[in-house]
Amino acid sequence: MFELDEVKEYLRIDGDEENNLVTSLILMATELVEDILRRKMTEFETIPETVRQAVLLTVATLYENRQGGKEGLNTADLIDLIRRMTFAYRKEAF
């Protein structure tokens, strides 16, 4: 669904040192977007580009904020953005 090489290119990562981290972030981001969509990615014949970008954006956000920092990760803003991006594909209920 989301290939490691594709995501590494999106993140502009060279080398293989962070493959395990990126793979884990892909799984986390996919689960988060699926939870917001209230559907599995496998339900789409072709994943809509907006949904793909929501997953990639989530991976990038998690990757960039993996160390924490002063401000930390504002998950409420991230979730709100994903909801707005994927609203058209979201099921009303599980």
Between CA 65 and CA 67 the distance in angstroms is 5
Distances in whole angstroms, Cα of residue 83 to Cα of each of 8, 36, 37: 24, 6, 8
Longest distance between any two alpha carbons in the chain, whole Å = 41
Range of the domain at 41: 4-89
Residue 24 lies in a domain: yes
Does residue 46 surpass a pLDDT of 90? yes
- What was the pLDDT predicted at 57? 95
Q: How far apart are CA 84 and CA 2, in angstroms?
A: 21
What is the value of pTM for the model shown? 0.89
Residue 55 counted as domain residue = yes
What is the tens place of the pLDDT at every residue in 33-43? 999 999 999 99
User: How many domains would you assign to the chain?
Assistant: 1
Is residue 65 very low, low, confident or very high in pLDDT (cuts 50, 70, 90)?
confident
Query: 94 in a domain, yes or no?
Result: no
